[in-house]
Amino acid sequence: MSEFDVAVIGAGPAGSSAAIRLAQNGMNVLLVERGDPPGTKNVSGAVLWGNELAKVVPDWERSAPVERYVTRKEVAFLTEKSKIAISFSSEELQNSKSGKIIVRGKFDQWLAKKAKDAGAMLVTGVTVDRLAIDNGKVIGIQQDNDVITADAVVVAEGANPRVLINSGLRPKLSDRDVALGIKETIKLPENVINERFNVDSKSGFASEFVLGFLDDGLLSGGFLYTNKDTVSLGIVASLDRLRANGVTHSYDIMGKFEEHPFIKNLIKDGIPDEYAAHLVPEGGISSMPKLYGNGYLVAGDAAAFTFSNGMVLQGINYAITSGILAADTIIENRNNINENTLAKYVDKLRESYVLSDLYNFNGIQNVTWSDFVQKSLPTLAESVMMSLFDEKGMPKKHLRQIVTDAMKSGHMKYSDLITNGYRVIKRM
């Protein structure tokens, strides 16, 4: 007989959600987290979209450490001297409270405690080396030569899937599978944040950026989220472009982002409080490991369950949903756990938005990380906007002529604009 019904690796949103659901259904659950306390290995200043967590913690917003609710969402291109943005504010968005700005260090610790309160055994400060496998069946988890047995294992170890790799269940990560994220937490008084970002104490601002001003072939996005009395500022850089560049480091990109004229004033007089790096899943379907096997399931970032189409960046809701569905699969087959029964996990994911989104937007990373979106589009947009709004006492031009002139100055052909524009629209 196994020591536990289920062992869950990782007390992030996926692992803790799975542990809560399993414990609520009377299963003996071990939740193992390498951080002590949970959340200390995560650097994400993030937005939790949707209300999936209510499926396991119905009144979760009453006690969860939500910093603010997103009431203004922005997507922007940054060139060296300009910012071209789409900004959306809505009373409906404010009333729905769909986007919750959180700090993962606080949130993960709170959620792991919910798993413990539900009956799971939480063990922190322990790094699982690999899955324990006997005759092709996962029988538990292993650290050095110590094995803890379990009838099933949920692997929710995050974007760097060391356990899966060490267990021979997925290949090593390539530069196309992940990007490198860097986040800095900057302290600012709450009243300064409210005034600077035009929000009140409960409402918040969330923005993603294309860093079109980078040179030497570098590609990177950026983000800025307002917390209660801090700002989360960060970049997500293309690893293959960084490696090809060979000179510029990720912290150089972060420094340039901080010093951009339309960013530095937003964080002026702020005090740096945290600075860390983390891998971010970017490969989509092509980077996804096998999601189930004889005795194990994979959820959250370890399964590459993140979504970004350049306008929307989500991952925590996918982690929570996949963790719950992994738990449900085990609960429904608790007396007959094998590869065939655990395969039903994939069916559940397909019926949900998780795999539907990843398949519907398959290949989107080839658009969001393209030179057209990262380089050509910001430059073109800047040129068009300057022509529209910079008055020089000259005769006005029609928009078509303005666009044509901007394309010529950027050495862009109409055929390239149409082809790339079609790809963007098709993928997004």
pLDDT at 39 over 90: no
Q: How far apart are CA 320 and CA 15, in angstroms?
A: 8
pLDDT at 114 over 90: yes
Band (pLDDT 50/70/90 cuts) for residue 366 is confident
Going by C-alpha positions, the residue among 245, 128, 251 that lies closest to residue 181 is 251
Percent of residues, the chain, with pLDDT higher than 70: 98
Going by C-alpha positions, the residue among 1, 175, 82, 119 that lies closest to residue 386 is 82
The full set of domain ranges for the chain reads: 4-68+101-174+283-362, 178-281, 370-427
4-68+101-174+283-362 CATH fold: FAD/NAD(P)-binding domain (3.50.50)
pLDDT for the residue 396:
84
Residue 201 to residues 145, 228, 365, Cα–Cα distance (Å): 51, 7, 35
Burial of 417 (0-12, 13-18, 19+ CB in 10 A): middle
Band (pLDDT 50/70/90 cuts) for residue 117 is very high
pLDDT for the residue 410:
79
pLDDT digits (tens, 9 = 90+) for 62-72: 999 999 999 99
pLDDT digits (tens, 9 = 90+) for 225-244: 999 999 999 999 999 898 99
For residue 376, the 8-state DSSP code is I
Strand partners, 360: none
pLDDT at 50 over 70: yes
User: β-strand 271-281 against 292-293: which pairing, if any?
Assistant: unpaired
pLDDT digits (tens, 9 = 90+) for 332-345: 999 999 999 999 99
Q: State phi, psi for 295 to the nearest 5 degrees.
A: 105, 5
- Residue 378 preceded by cis peptide, ω within 30: no
For residue 287, the 8-state DSSP code is G
Q: How far apart are CA 29 and CA 9, in angstroms?
A: 11
Residue 97 to residues 47, 52, 107, Cα–Cα distance (Å): 11, 13, 17
pLDDT digits (tens, 9 = 90+) for 268-307: 999 999 888 889 898 889 899 999 999 999 999 999 999 8
> What is the pTM for the complete model shown?
0.94
